[in-house]
Amino acid sequence: MDIKIEKKKGLRPKHYLYIGIGALVLFAVWKLASGGSGSTYRADKEKVSIAAVSFGKFDDYITINGSVAPISTIYMDAYEGGRVSEKLIEEGAMVKKGDIILKLENSSLYEQILASESNLALKQNDLRSTKLNFDSRQVEGRRSLATAEYDLQRNKRAYDQNKTLFDEELISKEVYLTSKENYELSQKQYEIAKLQTEQDNKLRKTSLAGLDTDLNRMQKTLSMVYERLDHLNVRAPADGQLGFLDAEIGQNIGQGQRIGQVNVLTNYKIEAEIDEHYIDRVKRELNASFERNGKEYKLRVRKVYPEVRNGRFKVDLVFTDEKPETIRTGQSYNIKLQLGASNEALLLPKGSFFQSTGGQWIFVVDGAGGEAYKRPIRIGKQNSRYYELLEGVEAGEQVITSGYDSFGDAERIVLK
């Protein structure tokens, strides 16, 4: 006999599958609506900055801040050490080259100079005595030569006479030989005296030339010693303004110590610091300008310092034409530094979004203005107002330019 099987009431396995899928769909819809997922973020439209991308003229410049400095600065170091006895000029005063700023005193230097003077005087006297001895020897040599020449002539005359008389057998042979020997001796003595005189003359010429050189050298040395005295007067090295003076009456100054500086005010330069991002683009001879009281003043880059400190490097700019009449050291100017020629480009207004994205992407607002989507972009050059947009966004599209820190990793922004 067949038994009838009753169908079980309740949920079957396939029903569980349908329920799970429905729950996942409901959860996704709920998360999408709440804006709590990593792909969507709800933002107040009034609290974000939105700007339009436009096509126009891109001026390749940056704005930097610079301060006025003297065209050059000359430092003053002490040639000689000493105690400050007098201070004639104060900081900030205008000076002329050679003006005495400080007077120093150094008792040990005075003693050294007196000793040097005494030694030099003794040496000069010794040299003069040597010169006088040479002169006396020259006179004596000439006298000896004259005597020898006289004896030679007298003995030659006697010899000639006796030779004639001897040939005529009027005198003895002994008398003749004696006169002949006297004559020959006179000849030798004369040659010796002449040779000695010639050698003395040569020695005198060479020796006196060397002595004169030594005397001149000693006189120059003495002059240099006197200059050390003059160096106790600290003088202005150039026309300008005494920038600072680190010396007070009674203070001891060491030799070579930095005392102060003179600012040369015949012209001015502007010192500025620039972000290291631009170090490859900033070169000498670049043009710059700034406005002051409605008038534009032209500058050029004179020097680019290679060192980078705290993410910035230093440049010096100089005026190419006139400068402000009221210019003063320490004044600050906002300067527009031209890095390249102007060109037509897509202009993306600058904003704090760059700090979050590094210029790699941006949120682009849709046509309705209710949503914004993440889009990759490529940025070229930049100035104080715009980025040069190379690709990613078209002219007329709107983008969010304010900071993205609160957006997290959202790919889509819902603007309420």
Q: What is the CATH number of the domain that holds 272?
A: 2.40.30.170
Q: Does residue 26 sit within a domain?
A: no
Question: Which tens digit of pLDDT belongs to each residue from 13-56?
Answer: 555 566 666 666 565 554 444 444 458 899 888 889 999 999 99
Question: Per the structure block, which two tokens stand in for 319?
Answer: 């005026």
- pLDDT tier at 115 (50, 70, 90 boundaries)? confident
Picking from 197, 230, 263, the residue at the C-terminal end of a domain is 230
Short-list 311, 345, 350, 278, CA closest to 288:
278
Same domain, yes or no: 182 and 216: yes
Q: Does residue 9 sit within a domain?
A: no
Q: Does residue 148 sit within a domain?
A: yes
Cα within 13 Å of Cα(295), Cβ side:
8
Same domain, yes or no: 123 and 95: no
R_g (Cα) of the chain, nearest Å:
52
**Maximum Cα interatomic distance, the chain, rounded to a whole number of Å:** 211
Q: Please count the residues of the chain.
A: 416
Question: Per the structure block, which two tokens stand in for 219?
Answer: 């006189």
Residue 78: which domain range?
61-100+240-340
Short-list 406, 316, 300, 410, CA closest to 363:
410
pLDDT of residue 19: 64
Q: In the chain, what percentage of residues exceed pLDDT 70?
A: 91
**Are 364 and 50 within 8 A, CB to CB?**
no
Cα within 13 Å of Cα(384), Cβ side:
11
- pLDDT tier at 313 (50, 70, 90 boundaries)? very high
Same domain, yes or no: 256 and 334: yes
Same domain, yes or no: 194 and 259: no
Q: Which residue, chain included where needed, has tokens 């230093």?
A: 314
pLDDT of residue 319: 93
Picking from 340, 375, 394, the residue at the C-terminal end of a domain is 340
Cα within 13 Å of Cα(370), Cβ side:
1
Q: In degrees rounded to 5, what are phi and psi of residue 287?
A: -90, 150
Sorted by sequence, the CB contacts under 8 Å of residue 155 that are 6+ apart come out as: 179, 182, 183, 185, 186
Q: What is the pTM of this model?
A: 0.52
Overall average pLDDT of the 354-360 stretch? 89
Question: Would the pLDDT of 12 be above 60?
Answer: no
Same domain, yes or no: 177 and 257: no
Sorted by sequence, the CB contacts under 8 Å of residue 90 that are 6+ apart come out as: 242, 245
Same domain, yes or no: 244 and 96: yes
Highest-confidence segment of 22-36, 127-141, 170-184, 207-221? 170-184
Q: Are strands 50-52 and 61-77 parallel, antiparallel or unpaired?
A: unpaired
Question: Per the structure block, which two tokens stand in for 291?
Answer: 């406005």
Overall average pLDDT of the 329-346 stretch? 89
Total tally of structural domains belonging to the chain: 3
- pLDDT tier at 72 (50, 70, 90 boundaries)? confident
- pLDDT tier at 142 (50, 70, 90 boundaries)? confident
Same domain, yes or no: 335 and 357: no
Q: What is the CATH number of the domain that holds 368?
A: 2.40.420.20
Q: Does residue 119 sit within a domain?
A: yes
Question: Which tens digit of pLDDT belongs to each residue from 247-274?
Answer: 889 999 998 899 999 988 888 899 999 9
Q: Does residue 284 sit within a domain?
A: yes
Picking from 320, 340, 360, the residue at the C-terminal end of a domain is 340
pLDDT of residue 196: 87
DSSP string covering 299-353: EEEEEEEEEEETTEEEEEEEESS---TT--TT-EEEEEEE-S--EEEEEEE--TH
Question: Per the structure block, which two tokens stand in for 74?
Answer: 């000359």
The CA distance from 95 to 245, in Å, is: 13
Question: Would the pLDDT of 385 be above 90?
Answer: no
pLDDT of residue 24: 63
